Each structure stands twice: as C-alpha cells, then as structure tokens.
Amino acid sequence: MITLTGFMFLLVSALLGYIYSPQLDSAPPRWVNFAHGLLLFLYQTFDAVDGKQARRTNSSSPLGELFDHGCDALACTFEALAFGSSAMCGRSTFWFWLISAITFYGATWEHFFTNTLILPVVNGPTEGLMMIYVSHFFTAIVGSEWWAHRFGESLPFLNWLPFFGGIPTYAAVLYLMIAFGVIPTVTLNVSNVYKVVKARNGSMLLALAMLYPFVALVGGVLVWDYLSPADILRTYPHLAIIGTGLIFGYLVGRMILAHLCDEPKGLKTGMCMSLLYLPFAIVNAVASRRNDGIPLIIFVRVPLVDERLVLLGYCVFSGKDLHGVTMNGEVGPPQLGVVANKLGGRHSSINIGNKSFAFGPRGQDNGCVKTMKLPHHVEGNELNRISDPPGDAYVDDLFHLLDNQSGVTKKEA
C-alpha cells in the first residue's frame, strides 16, 4: 500500500502536467511546478520507507520486489512527463524519459547477473530525484520560460561556452546529464556484468542479448516518429511516452521475474512479443506519409487508422502486457512429474517436474510447512515464509497453489 500510494503521487503530477500543458510546450501555473516538486518528494519518501516497513513487519517477498521495482520503472515515465511540463521540453521530453530509462534498465540488467543492486555515491534514486524536485521548486520561482531561453541567457556567466550558449537551457541540461550521468553509469554496468560473466565462463553475447528488446523498443518508436506525418512526439507526447513507458515497465518486470525464478540467461521471447504493435504503427505511418497524410495501405486504397487512435491502441496494448507480467509472466503452472525427496539441513524440498519447492520444519500436525508466504493453506499446512535459495520459490506459485494439482498428495509433500 505504501508503494502504491507513492506511485499515485506521480500519476497526479503527470495528470496536472497534461491538464495545463497538453503538448508540454506551454508554461503551466507556478503552483503546478511547486506541486510537481512536492509530489516527487513524497514519492521518493514513500519509496524509501516501503522496504523498511516490509522488513519491520516481516512481509517482504519476491512479489513485493516485483511490484516495487515495476512501479519505479513506470515512475520514469510519469516523472519525465511532469518535468517536461515544468521545463517546457515539448518533444524533447522523450529524451529525458530515455536517459532515465537507460540507467534504470542498465541497473536491472546488472542486478540480474550480479545479484547486487550497485549504486554509486551519487545515484538516481537519491541525489538524482533530489535535483529534479529542487528544479521544480526553482521553476516555481523563476517560471517555466527560464528553461526555454538560451543557455547563455539563463546563465550569463556561462555565456562563453561555444556550444551550449545558443541552445535552450533544457537541451543543455539534457546533454550534460548524458555526458556526466548516463555514459559513466552504463559503462559501470557493462563492466560489472562482464566481470561476472567472465568469472563464470559465460557468454557475454547472451548477456547483451537481454538488452535487445529495449534497444528495439526505442528504435521502433524513433522510426515511427520519423515516418509519422503527425509528428507523434510533438503532437501527442503523453500518449507516445506513456505507451512506450508501459512497455518499458513490462521489460523491466519480465527481467525481474526471470531473476526471481533463476531462469537461464539470454533473450526472453516474451520480451520481444511486447513489441509486436510497433510494426503495425510504422506501416500505418508509412502509408499516411505516401498518401499526403491520408492513412491508406501502400498500393491499396483501403483506409487504415488515424494516428491518434493508433496511439490509444498502443497504450492499451502496452498496458495489457504489463498486466500480464504482474500476474504470471511466462512461467506456467508446475508440471507434475516424479516427486523426489531430498534433505538439506533444517529444511527439505521436493522437485515437481523441472521446479522445486522448499519446506520448513514440521508443524504441530507433523506436516511439513511450505516456505512460501501466502494467506492460504496447502492440505492444512500453513505457508509461512519465502524460500531463500534461488530456484526454490517461483513467483508463479503465488497464483498456482499445490492444492490445485491433483498429482501431489499430502504424503508426498
């Protein structure tokens, strides 16, 4: 509930930006800029305390990690829209979303291989968010027009810079963030993954293959925008960025799910399936471009779809995929097979097909207690906590219980 409440603050912030700056190129009232900063500060605070609360109440779980990091991935989208509203970034708002998405995806990819979330001394979740909400508060004082002025006019003491002096202030900030934030962070991510892969005699190509869906997503959206007569990133920035951000949230969630389930490294087919909408959108844009803005199939006078409706469908399609990963991703229900008992210290486990389930010490009824935290019982045995060893607990088990499998009896378990 804490995580969801914090995420709702960013939804309200993005909604305010849409109401007062639909195309992100007009100045909202200054109280909106202040609200953006306050709502982001509240989100950061709630995001920081939800983990402490989960540990304090002994309610932490893999599902909680999936939900928390999934909300953080979506937060990149809605905060980019809020900042685009404050700074009047227009179509450049997409690039602010992209630099946050690159660093977030890189950190998730690194965590998949290293099992450690490595944050530098100056990082995005703390200092990065702090700089953004301070920027919102500053904008509430000077006005959003400050960001649209040339960098040399907004900061006269830096007017001597040869390149930055003649570009908008928000563009100069974007380039500086890429140079001093994105590039060093991504370099560190790749270096850490390479060390782990090399130590395990693994394939770096398989590791890099997991980046392909994200690269394909960004490339597909940029091609769509380039071919679109409507210039979707300028005319419909909220729809374009939200649709792309939802797919990004799915990709991040799918990688987290693969890590929790200890799946083999490499490209995940389901991650690519989430990109199937983009070819249709690109064909629709090409058809419109070749027929003076009228969306017709090439060489065939059959009407396609207006691009605003295509973008709405894009958001619906993206949301459907995101909902799928929060349920059970690509992990199917346990396949019944030979049940083999194996003992290990204080706990034991069983293998069902290609999956294993851990059990704790026997309870008062002399039955094994399954190490899976759920408010349910399996054949009278209370599910009391999450299994710690990788591979013992699958997120899919949160939704497919053993008591629904006729082949597993209480005696076997």
Looking at residue 291, its pLDDT comes to: 65
Higher pLDDT, 334 or 192: 192
Mean pLDDT in the chain? 77
Q: Which residue has the tokens 């894009």?
A: 314
Based on the structure, what is the number of domains in the chain?
A: 1
List 69, 111, 136, 259, catalytic entry:
69
Where does the pLDDT of residue 60 fall: very low under 50, low under 70, confident under 90, or very high at 90 and above? confident
Mean pLDDT of 385-395: 35
Instruction: Tell me what pLDDT residue 288 has.
Output: 78
User: Domain for residue 406, yes or no?
Assistant: no
The pLDDT value recorded for residue 196 is 93
Q: Is 376 a catalytic residue?
A: no
388 occurs within a structural domain: no
- Residue 267 or residue 103, greater confidence: 103
Highest mean pLDDT among 51-65, 200-214, 375-389: 200-214
Whether residue 399 is contained in a domain is answered as no
195-233 pLDDT, tens per residue?
999 999 988 998 998 999 999 999 999 999 999 888 899
Residue 127 within any structural domain of the chain: yes
CA atoms within 13 A on the CB side of 75: 28
Taking a C-beta distance cutoff of 8 angstroms, is the pair 159, 150 a contact?
Answer: no
23-37, 86-100, 115-129, 261-275: range with lowest mean pLDDT: 261-275
Domain that holds residue 286: 1-329
**Does residue 135 lie within any of the structural domains?**
yes
- Look at residue 53 and tell me whether its pLDDT is greater than 90: no
**Is residue 17 included in any domain, yes or no?**
yes
Is 90 exceeded by the pLDDT of residue 69? no
> From CA 39, how far away is CA 111, in angstroms rounded?
28
CB 274 within 8 A of CB 321: yes
Between CA 362 and CA 348 the distance in angstroms is 10
Do the domain assignments include residue 400? Answer: no
pTM score: 0.76
Dihedral in degrees, nearest 10, Cα atoms 164, 169, 170, 173: 50
Answer whether residue 350 is part of any domain.
no
